[in-house]
Structure 1
Amino acid sequence: MDTLAIVILNYNGKRYLETFLPSVIANAEGFPVYVADSASTDDSVSFLRAQFPSVRVIQLASNEGYAGGYNAALASVREQYGGARYYVLPNSDIDVTPGWIAPILQLLEANPAIAACQPKIRAYDRPRQFEHAGAAGGFVDYLGYVFCRGRVFATFEDDLGQYDDNRPVFWATGACLFVRADVFHQTGGFDSAFFAHMEEIDWCWRVQRLGYQVWACGQSVVYHVGGGTLHKSNPRKTYLNYRNSLYMLYKNWSGDWLWGRILFRLVLDGVSSLLFLKEGQWRDVLAIIQAHFAFYGHLPQLRQQRRALRQQQTTEVKLYPRSIVWEYFVEGKKTYRELT
């Protein structure tokens, strides 16, 4: 069994593999590199086999998104190649840096309670600035809205060393996620119903309910292009983010007033729809409406998951106790360090 396996999920991402895979291989620190291809329709697989013979290629039968794709890929790593004690899951559009693995591996080895960890995520095209997908570690407020150290909604901080510490966070980004393999498989991996977006936050929430921890490591840095598979302007991304946020909140909230929170979310999502409408983005408005109907249609399955998770729970998990929407848009608190 390897200590670490580097596993990249690919779907029609040949251009990113061509650009970023050489750096991953050069900075793999002797650990095996896998690319799991989600039935790409470009020539990703033939390109990999011809240009990167050292990479272990896993061909998946279909595109099941980030969640289902990584579930299948990591199962294949375990069954076909003997597995690893830890996995790192960098997006295909991640540019790694020398020494990016060692600090996180040291954290994982020193503290068996850590189930997931992330490096600092900077923007590839703005190298001093934190990137949207994870920044320096994420949190969730009591209504299910997410934010990060270094990025709150559309405000992005420059990395000036203010988050160079190693510390627990609520969620670690799926853009470059390190996970403890036995915990990943023990928990059934990601919820494949999410397809993509927020499945890693849902998983981080679930493992904390079992007593594990999630950390961010300030000594490791990578750069992320972002939107490599699904651009932020695509209404499909809006749909997945809004739907999956509701899925996550309903499944995992273990306190009182669940439906009060859901109804409050309905109001706030309605307000955000008006903002989209003001900008003429009517397809995003339709995506939010569809997301809510998809949530209601999926309630029977979510209810079963909720019950099972409550039976398994050993640790109470604390969310950020105030509304990040209120603090950002009304109180004008734009950065993590300004928050209560």
Structure 2
Amino acid sequence: MGRLPAFLPQEAYFRSSFEMNQQQQPLVAIVILNWNGRHYLEQFLPSVFASGYPNLEVVVADNASSDDSVLFLRQHYPQVQVLELAQNFGFAKGYNEALKHVAAPYYMLLNSDVAVTPGWLQPMVALLEQQANYVACQPKILAYKNQQKFEYAGAAGGWIDAYGYPFARGRVFDICEVDEGQYSDAQQVFWASGAALLIKREAYHAAGGFDPYFFAHQEEIDLCWRLQRMGKQIWCCPQSVVYHVGGGTLPRGNSRKTFLNFRNNQIMLAKNLAWSELWWKIPYRQALDALSAWKGLLTGDGGYFIAIVKAHIAFVGWLFTGERQRVKGPRKKMRQLTGVFGRNLVWQHFVLGRRRFTDVVQKSNK
């Protein structure tokens, strides 16, 4: 099993917040990538402006929407900086293009379907201000439609297993736990959710930003992996809370989403695994993917089967013809990184029946 994350004592938050209140807090740019999300902007922008952070700018980067998002913003939110992108670049390249025009020292990448709470930014900024190598963090992410439960996309901080399966404190595969305060300590994690990602501008660009080839899905995990390779730390700060609708553009179960998840996961492994692990872990993972695909087909989900087959073919295409992002930092064995579960999450969950994060991580270590 990989290293267990460090945790930050609660006293450190109160001390840091007090100290920050005595001086000018750093400028944070909340950058919302929008695609045909006028209804979400109307619903959730008021919470952003009511959040109470004193040094804030709000930017909406529009991914060539065909609805009236831009007109709505210009009429009702003239204080918002609107960046109109030439086409729908997707999540990854869309943010890369938008952030070329944002100079704030902190980026808060926020999905348009997220409701934030008063004071949500201050604890995260205070955390990242403590150390130069603390470069990114996420809040506790709860489900908007069932606010007692963690939300799928990040929950209370992301982990990964030894074979590239992402999960999170509060979410294992499709099982989202009820929030009972069990993950309310700030911890160093493997990845922070792109649904609400606070990241230092310098670190984002030093790591090369999101991989534009990904288009969407798992690009934040890849970015956080690259940051760890550079010696940086990723955190979850549960003292900050947001509520995420989720599935706003590509709902779960969508074949396109399945394709992107399986393709991008293999690319991420190929880019970041240590050479000594790369040669056997990718074939092992592909075998597990094949089992999942056949299970889908035998249970009547032909679209799922076809999406995984296409993902594997696309991965081979990427190996030979795909655009390669230059990656900084040495390839490290997964056990050298934080937030890595050193065993097989599929076995733990589907065979041993471990449904909660703590059951997976703690019981398997006994």
Per the normalisation by structure 1, the TM-score is: 0.94
- Report if aligned partners of 2:192, 2:236 keep a CA contact under 8 Å in 1: yes
Is 1:329 the counterpart of 2:353 in the alignment? no
1:282 matched to 2:302:
yes
What is the CA deviation profile of residues 52-105 of structure 1, one whole-angstrom value per residue up to 9, with x for unaligned ones? 11111111111111100000111111xxxxx11111111000010111100000
Deviation at 1:134, TM superposition (A): 0.3
- Segments of 5+ residues of structure 1 without an aligned counterpart are 78-82
- 2:66 maps to 41
1:269 and 2:289 equivalent? yes
Matched ranges for 1:233-252 at <5 A: 233-252=253-272
Separation of aligned partners in 1, 2:306 and 2:333: 39
Q: Which range moves more in the overlay, 276-285 or 3-12? A: 276-285
Amino acid of the structure 2 residue aligned with 1:52? Y
- Aligned partner of 1:56: which letter? Q
1:1-340 pair list within 5 angstroms: 3-27=27-51, 29-30=53-54, 31-77=56-102, 83-300=103-320, 305=325, 308-309=327-328, 316-317=336-337, 319-339=340-360, 340=364
Count residues with an aligned counterpart: 334
Report the residue type matching 1:253 in the other structure.
Answer: L
1:292-336 deviations in whole A, cap 9, x for unaligned?
A: 000011014679658x54658799435321000111111111111
CA RMSD of aligned residues (A): 2.0
Q: 1: distance between equivalents of 2:249 and 2:108?
A: 19
Q: Which moved more, 1:128-137 or 1:257-266?
A: 257-266
CA contact (8 A) 1:252 1:309 kept: no
2:333 & 2:284 partners in 1: Cα distance? Answer: 28
CA distance in 2, matches of 1:173, 1:110: 21
User: AA paired with 1:282?
Assistant: G
Over the matched positions of the two proteins, sequence identity in percent amounts to: 51
Give the aligned residue type for 2:46: P
Aligned partners of 1:209 and 1:314 also within 8 Å: no
CA 114–302 in structure 1, closer or farther in 2 if over 3 Å, else same: farther
> TM-score scaled to structure 2, two decimals?
0.87
- In structure 2, the CA distance between the partners of 1:168 and 1:2, relative to structure 1 (3 Å rule), is closer
Contact 2:172-2:357 at 8 Å conserved across structures: yes
Determine if contact 2:277/2:333 at 8 Å carries over to the other structure.
Answer: no
Could you tell me how far apart the structure 2 residues matched to 1:71 and 1:244 are?
A: 17
Q: Unaligned regions of 5+ residues in structure 2, if any? A: 1-24
Q: Distance in 1 between matches of 2:176 and 2:139?
A: 17
Q: After the TM superposition, which parts of structure 1 deviate over 3 Å for at least 4 consecutive aligned residues?
A: 300-306, 308-316
